Structure 1
Amino acid sequence: MKKTLWFIAGIAMLFSCNTQQKEIDGLTAKSDSLAAVNIQQGESIIGFVASFNEIQGTLDSIKQMEKIITLNAGKPGSEVEQDAKDKINQDIYAIHAMLRRNREMVANLKARLKKSDGKIVELEKMIDFMTRQIEEKDGEIVQLKDQLAQMNIKVVELSGKVDNLATESQVKSQVIDEKTIALNTAYYAIGTKKELIDNKVITRAGGFIGIGKSSSMAKDFNTEYFTKIDIRNLKFIALNVKKATVVSTHPAGSFNITGIKRADTLFISDFNRFWSASKYLVIQVE
């Protein structure tokens, strides 16, 4: 019963202050069919309602901004000061951004509903309704821009700019993620002296091939012998051998090998310091 009341209350909040009240009332009256779903679906529906509320709230805000733009534009034939023109362009820019956000939210809701178990007709209707409202609002903004143009108020074409900025932001985020992954990527190899030599990881003198003072590897360096890891997640390496020696260069005090008469585990106590000298860890074991 609580869930039913909660859901109905959510629907009522969602469609408050809407100009198309008849269509909204029709959707609200059918909310009982949604309240009959199981608890998990009910919680999911509450999430949908929250998104609907946000979309509707944005559309209401856009409506108020349209009124402000019309007010700033003044009467046809009147001279509009530059400050007012700048404010109009800023408001339209904000409207484009909000509409874009709404379109993204609707697309996300459609994807979530498609993945959910069962077919909830009323949610589909609500999503379709929101889609139509956004499309209508797009049309209203086009008409508003035409009206402003007739009043000699040039509206900067910002819809493409908003999309471009969003794309640039996504690209930058992806680049940052890739750089973060690269900065936290390291490699380690464990083997006997013979295994490490045979795989061209160490020389007979005990030094690295391609690693050390030179930042580049030899062409015949066997990268497949190394295991790739995220240094943030690697706290220790189980060894369980008679003896272990770290051949690669790592600051003293940033790691230690533990075990009684054996080398059981290599612990990394300070991963930032440990990997600062080299992102390649080589452990020679016996």
Structure 2
Amino acid sequence: MKRVVFIASIIVLASCGTEKPELPNPLDAQVEKLTIENTRLTSESVRKDSMINAYALYVNEINKNLELISTQQQLIDSRRNTGELGTLADEAEVVENLKNIAELMANNESKIARLNKDLKNANLEIGEFEKMIISLSEEVALKSNEIYNLHQELENIDAAYGELIDALQERDELIDSQQKQLTQVWYAVGSSKELKEHGVITKEGGLLGIGRTNKLKADFNHEYFTEIDLSEVNQISLGGKSAELLTSHPSDSYEITGESGAVENLIIKDANKFWSASKYLVVVLK
């Protein structure tokens, strides 16, 4: 009986010692793999959405800048087409418009460069945005060309305007010169001795030095005369006991004033008439 129990115990122990281990379930590994992949895809999707939102913001800013650039261009074109470019204020405003355009263009180029860099570093496939960036780059390049042409046109306008200003200045100078010639007159006042010594008058006629009269020299010394504008001067100081006009001037166009037997001033009452016969006035004082 004891032998039977012993044998049974051996059989039981043998049975326990040879039990097969439990094998891993292949479905669990597949689930874990799918979970990891799902986490990766979710993370990538979130990152992609974040990048798309950032790109959309950049694209909107670039488009807004392009609209502002077009507005600045229209302001310049409006002034150019209506011929309002001319005053310093107009030119200053155009310069400010061009400055704004330059800043907006630089901003756009910077944003596009940033978009390209971020898209490359992100290592994401965002086909629509890649196409959009290419399109924006082309539009910015086109706008840059338009701005360059606008600069060239404005430079040509500025050059033409400069030539016009030069021509107008030359015309004004010519008019001023002609006007000055019309109103430019000269006078010389002094004693007979002074005027003779300075080559203004000479004595002619008479006999043996008696009865000679003062005459304006044919080649008188022009440097001794004082130049005035007949439209501005209507009084000439004399200062003597008497005065004799050697040049021809209508008697009703002037008067000589003074007190106590002296002559003080020559008053020109009608300038155009006074200087009509001679542009030179010579007064001999005694």
Which of the pair is proportionally richer in helix?
2
TM-score norm. by structure 1 comes to 0.47
Structure number with greater Rg is 2
